Structure 1
Amino acid sequence: MKIDPAARPFTAVAAAPTLLAALGRRPRTALALGLLTAGVTLFFRDPDRTPDRAPVTDPDVVLAPADGMVVHAGPAQDGVAPEGEWQQVSIFLSLLDVHINRSPYGGRVVSVTHVPGRFLAAYRAASATKNERSEIVVERLVAGAPRRVVYRQLVGQLARRIVTRIHAGDDVATGERIGLMKFGSRMDVFLPPEVVLEVSKGRRAVAGETVLGRFPSASAVPGQAPA
């Protein structure tokens, strides 16, 4: 299984007492610490993903940016969304979830903004505006019309570090890896009103596979529902 390079310092720190216990001929302690080391390393696992219902080249599809539980899906929460009219999908990541993040929508990265803040529990609504976070804006032209999607990486009580590996001016594909959050966190995705949501609160999401919603097809005949 692929492990993200960000795991190296954490694995090294966790492995040091394991080695000392082994050298001290304390097999039970070494085994317990070895399992802990393996758990820390597996937190950074980076599995390959394949969309389950549409290819990543489909310009109408928005995919989940993170593994976890959908804790909100619908109109944007008051005071949380960017200016304008938006829908919001929020995904809470537990310690057991894969923490590699992916772009929910492909296009040109308009901006990447890091905002320092607090470390409230990521499942709380207040975390969206008070916690440390990175906000990413992606725009794409489809049939000459711009489509904009905004998403945020938010840290929680245990997640104290956001890694964002894209920058303004980059081109990203739908489902492309864009970074990770370390040790429990949340991702918010803000979608225009015309997007038809395909997830609801309580559903499990899989990054790069679960379809969050779809833009109306640019090729659809006016007055006729897309096939």
Structure 2
Amino acid sequence: MTIHKEGYTSIAIVVLVIFVANALAHYFIPDNRFVIWTIYVLSFVLLVAILQFFRNPKRRIITDEKLILCPADGKVVVIEETEESEYFKDKRLQVSIFMSPVNVHINRNPVCGIVSFFRYHPGKYLVAWHPKSSTLNERTSIAVRTHTGKEILFRQIAGAMARRIVWYVQEGVEVKQGEEFGFIKFGSRVDVFLPLGTQVDVKIGDNVSGGLTVLGRFA
């Protein structure tokens, strides 16, 4: 397992803060062993937390054009028929995955194909499970048309803790199933909009892994 490139700056800042906090403790209260050891423990917990958040585990991803892979690690919180009003402007099957701070926050392409639509929207930072987070929060919308003509849309949505969405795609580029398309820092959500009739292989409450768990199968 390695550390994702998006974490380098955050980890460097945390290490600097830990160094300064420990140095100040030793300078101002050298004889208070309880406080110093408390700072040691808190420093260790903070360092472990930031390292695990930006972890980048190695994964062996098997591609299959008939399958739709989960784009993120997390828990399935929504499976419902809904109106997708930004791009398709029709009825779609929505599957939403909530990513807590302890999940891997790398986002992966559910399918292979050509990016047919991309938009970034600045916005609010409501909690990721809020019903209006998908339309009011900072987010991106990415549609991919597969080589068989099927088209899906997936949306990165920032949460209350997240303040930065990162993406690595743009309209017209070809993407490969399972490869990274972005990263969201801290708690967040990913919505996937599938054609009606798509077989969904997950259920609400399932814990899923990006690029490994099969989200569904095209009809």
TM-score calculated relative to the size of structure 2: 0.89
User: In the alignment, is the contact (CA less than 8 A) between 2:84 and 2:193 conserved in 1?
Assistant: no
Secondary structure of the corresponding residue to residue 178 of structure 2? coil
Q: Which one-letter code corresponds to 1:86 in the other structure?
A: R
Identity %, equivalent residues:
36
Distance 1:168 1:126 in 2: 26
Provide the rounded CA distance (Å) in 1 between the counterparts of 2:80 and 2:86.
13
Corresponding residue SS for 1:14: helix
AA at the equivalent of 1:149: I
Residue range with higher mean Cα deviation, 33-42 or 83-92: 33-42
> Who is 1:99 aligned against?
105
CA distance in 2, matches of 1:47, 1:215: 28
Q: Which has the higher helix share?
A: 2
Q: CA RMSD in A?
A: 1.8
Picking from 44, 58, 69, the partner of 2:75 is 69
Q: Report how far residue 81 of structure 1 moved.
A: 7.9
Q: Which amino acid letter does the alignment assign opposite residue 50 of structure 1?
A: R
The answer to whether the 8 Å contact 1:122/1:186 transfers is: yes
Matches within 5 A, 1:143-182: 146-182=149-185
Contact 1:65-1:103 at 8 Å conserved across structures: yes
Pairwise CA distance, 1:129: 0.9
Distance 1:2 1:77 in 2: 39
- Name the residue aligned to 2:215: 212
Q: Secondary structure at the match of 1:86?
A: strand
Paired position in structure 2 for 1:139: 145
Show the counterpart of 1:219: none
Q: How many residue pairs align between the two structures?
A: 209
Cα deviation, residue 21, structure 1: 4.0
Aligned equivalent of 2:123: 117
The 1-side partners of 2:75 and 2:88 are apart by 23
Residue type at the aligned position of 2:150:
R
Asked whether the 8 Å contact 1:158–1:183 carries over to 2, the reply is: yes
CA distance in 2, matches of 1:116, 1:100: 20
Distance 1:117 1:20 in 2: 34
Matched, 1:188 2:198: no
State whether residues 83 and 92 of structure 2, in contact with CA within 8 Å, keep that contact through their aligned partners in structure 1: no
Q: Deviations over 1:115-167 (max 9, x none)?
A: 1111111011211111110000100122xxx1101000000100111000111
Aligned counterparts, 1:14-33, within 5 A = 14-24=14-24, 25=26, 28=37, 29-33=39-43
Residues 130, 152 of structure 1: CA spacing in aligned structure 2 closer, same or farther, 3 A cutoff? Answer: same
- Extract unaligned runs of 5+ from structure 1: 217-227
Deviation at 1:59, TM superposition (A): 0.9
What does residue 4 of structure 2 align with? 4
Instruction: Tell me, yes or no, if the aligned pair for 1:121 and 1:127 is still in contact at 8 Å.
Output: yes
- Amino acid of the residue matched to residue 51 of structure 2? T
Q: For residues 150 and 78 of structure 1, what CA distance do their matches in structure 2 show?
A: 9
Matched position secondary structure for 1:96: coil
